[in-house]
Structure 1
Amino acid sequence: MFKTNEYFEGEVMSIGFNPEKGPATIGVMAVGEYEFGTSQKEFMTVTSGKMLVKLPGTDQWKDFKENETFIVEANEKFQVNVKEEISYICFYK
């Protein structure tokens, strides 16, 4: 069964599903700045567009473009800055 999620007053939306690799979400983000917290290790891949990401433990923003992945450990916070609407897929371990 699919599970829909809505964050930041509808600016970020995702659908959860369970492929063979394990739990995942596929979603979209509107232009804006967001901070997310993790409860599991996350592998996030940009599927269209690009976003700036500030990973835990760093003060540097890094660009992630289509087909690029970043990893955030469980129980961490990270920030994203989206300059154009983007889509992503996220796998949880």
Structure 2
Amino acid sequence: MSAVLTVNSYFNDQVKSIALDNKEGTSTVGVMAIGEYEFGTSQREYMTVVSGALTVKLPASDSWDTYLKGDTFIVEANQSFNVKVEETTAYLCRYE
């Protein structure tokens, strides 16, 4: 059985991800280049930093928090959040 992998590119190729479906559900694994980004959600997202760091301003928050390798943050569906990347960073995003 072969899987179909979907490659996504955002922000002029500064963010790239590969989507996958397996027994754990739908996820993306990706990389963000140095920069600042705003993302929108359509489902609840569990974002885990795999390598590097993400500084994130979550919805309804006035503060920026930095997430390091192994850290996870959750963004509810139909929200937007801001991310600052100071070093190229890899992430895993699981959708519910």
**Which TM-score band (shorter chain)?**
over 0.9
SS in 1 for 2:25: coil
Alignment of 1:29-68 (within 5 A): 29-68=32-71
Amino acid at match of 2:24: K
- Tell me which stretches of 4 or more aligned residues in structure 1 moved more than 4 Å: none
**Structure 1 unmatched runs, 5+:** none
* Structure-2 residue corresponding to 1:18: 21
Distance between the aligned counterparts of 2:62 and 2:8, measured in 1? Answer: 29
TM-score scaled by length of structure 2? 0.96
Distance between the aligned counterparts of 1:81 and 1:8, measured in 2? Answer: 13
SS in 2 for 1:24: strand
* Structure-2 residue corresponding to 1:92: 95
**Partner residue of 1:80 out of 58, 70, 83:** 83
Which has the higher Rg, Structure 1 or Structure 2?
Answer: 2
Alpha-carbon shift at residue 6 of structure 1 (Å)? 0.2
Amino acid at match of 1:49: G
